Structure 1
Amino acid sequence: MGMQEMETVTCLLTGVSHFTSELGRTILIILSFIRFGILAVGSQTLWKDEEMDFSCNSTQLLCQPSCFDEYCPISSFNLFSLQLVVLFTLSLSLICYMPSKYKNREGSLLGHLQGRNQLKLHILHLLSRILIESIFIVTFFKVSPGLLQSGVAQCHSVQCEAFVICVDLKEEAKQMFSIGFCAASAVSGFICLGELLSSLRSIYKAKKTSHTKQPYSKQLC
């Protein structure tokens, strides 16, 4: 019972099934803790009140909020949090639809068929995870002002005067945290891609082996 619970927790943290290699699952667990750490520390320091850390040389009341929405339409913290929610939802669906590897240990036909269905589900979840990681990385670069920027931007809002300049006072620290989170997402995606190719290679070898053995079985009959 304890082993099954440990497998469930591992599957929840990694988002992959027991078909994944031990090294791959270990790295994915470490990456999950890194991402949790980035959000936990950033929520209390960098992203606690982003609008207060955004300063503009304007006296208009609505200028600074409108410039902040123009500069940062989606907060990096909200985007990264949404990414983790989607990944954990995918992990929960994997736990619900993929039985434990400790079940159906007997080499029966039913267990063999269930194993094949689990492998197909494993491949589908790897594809989904790669797609999710890629979509959120691309979305971040689309909506963010860009990495390695100074945090200074000119505001073009109609609520402001002409030539209003705004500065994000914590932009450099945010960039470091964002780079770390994006790097963790990219590494996670590459690990899932490697596991996907390994699974497809195993399926191809199994089919090739079955095709080579089939003529001999017919001769024996």
Structure 2
Amino acid sequence: MNWGVYEALLTGVNKFSTEFGRLWLSIVFIFRFLVYALTASRVWGDDQKEFICNTRQPGCTNVCYDYYFPVSHVRLWALQLILVTCPSLLVVMHVAYRENREEKRREKLGKDCEKIYVNTAKKRGGLWWTYLISLFFKALVDSVFIYVFYRLYENFFLTRLVKCSIDPCPNIVDCFISKPSEKNIFTLFMIITSALCILLNLVEATYLIGKKCKEMIHRSNNMTLHERIVKSSHEDQQHNNCKEQIQIGIHCKNSNINKMKTDNISK
């Protein structure tokens, strides 16, 4: 599996993320990806080979190993890392889609044409929703895998000795797991980092939603203030119009009185 491809793609997410998103990327690559790539295969590489049962019954050891290790830790973590990083790639693809639209618009209307987006990487409109959904999806993926490990491996931890009585084992046989302490420490480390990533995703989602609500409230207040100013200006204009009309009426009345006086004098 070429993990370098995922690393190269996810580094592009760094410039589109918030501070919490950058911290999440750092934890994923340093404390999950690198630790997995460097140590997981060594810790679990000889797992089945050193799973020893005190019987020579053909097939008994294989059946017992399959029962206690239905899915390898290494493969589960590989699948988890792939699924948890895919939503970040969707954000990169969405930004690339915006940039492609801008480029086609410039080719069609010229370089000086009006832009569709002020900033293609700014989290507004559809990109904001894509980014927010990706956060919840990443938190959901990590939560599901933590639950899977909890159900498959009896509260995450492995014991040194397990007893197996599955066919074709002739009776209850004792089986010994290789390096259980090392595997438990490694498993605990991966579970804690996954939980930390879930927390960061939820904190970042809360931050984005709170920021969006603050912007909406600020925009609403500005619109209200603008409406008040417009209304006040309109009322002032109406008042001035009424004042002008009153003055015109008074002027007309005075003119009529003067005219009547002139007529009386003439008579």
TM over 0.5: yes
Q: Does 1:90 align with 2:87?
A: yes
Tell me the number of residue pairs that the alignment of Structure 1 and Structure 2 aligns: 210
In the other structure, the counterpart of 1:47 is 44
Name stretches of at least 5 consecutive residues in structure 2 with no aligned partner: 1-5, 103-113, 231-267
Residues 195 and 183 of structure 1, relative CA distance in 2, 3 Å threshold: same
The reply to whether residue 189 of structure 1 matches residue 189 of structure 2 is no
Calculate the TM-score normalised by the size of structure 2.
0.69
Q: Report the TM-score when normalising by structure 1.
A: 0.82
Long gaps (5+) in structure 1? 1-7
Q: Give the direction of change, closer, same or farther, for the CA distance of 1:159–1:75 in structure 2 (3 Å limit).
A: same
Residue 157 (structure 2) pairs with residue 151 (structure 1):
no
- 1:109 positional shift: 8.0
Structure 1 residue 60 displacement after superposition:
0.7
Contact 2:135-2:201 at 8 Å conserved across structures: yes
Q: Which runs of 4+ in 1 moved over 4 A?
A: 8-11, 13-17, 99-104
Tell which structure's C-alpha radius of gyration is larger: 2
Tell whether 2:25 aligns with 1:28.
yes
Of structures 1 and 2, the one with the larger relative CO (CA 8 A, separation 6+) is 1
Tell me the residue number matched to 1:5: none
Counting aligned pairs with the same residue, the percent is 21
Q: Per the alignment, do residues 113 and 208 of structure 1 end up closer, same or farther by CA in structure 2, a change over 3 Å counting?
A: farther
Residue 18 of structure 1 corresponds to which residue in structure 2? 16
For residues 153-186 of structure 1, what are the alpha-carbon distances to aligned partners after superposition, in whole Å with 9 as ceiling and x for unaligned?
Answer: 1113111021111110221111111111111111
One-letter amino acid of the counterpart of residue 125, structure 2: R
Instruction: Give RMSD over aligned pairs.
Output: 3.0
Displacement of 1:78 in angstroms is 0.7
Residue 9 and residue 165 in structure 1: after superposition, are their counterparts in 2 closer, same or farther (change >3 A)? closer
Between the aligned partners of 2:12 and 2:53, the Cα distance in structure 1 is 42
Q: Distance in 1 between matches of 2:15 and 2:148?
A: 27
The 2-side partners of 1:92 and 1:220 are apart by 46
Q: Which amino acid aligns with 1:46?
A: V
Give the match's secondary structure for 2:48.
Answer: helix
CA distance in 1, matches of 2:72, 2:18: 33
3-state secondary structure, aligned to 2:55: coil
Judging by fraction of residues, say which structure has more helix: 2
Q: Quickly say closer, same or farther: Cα 1:37–1:27, change in 2 above 3 A.
A: same
Shift of 1:59: 1.4
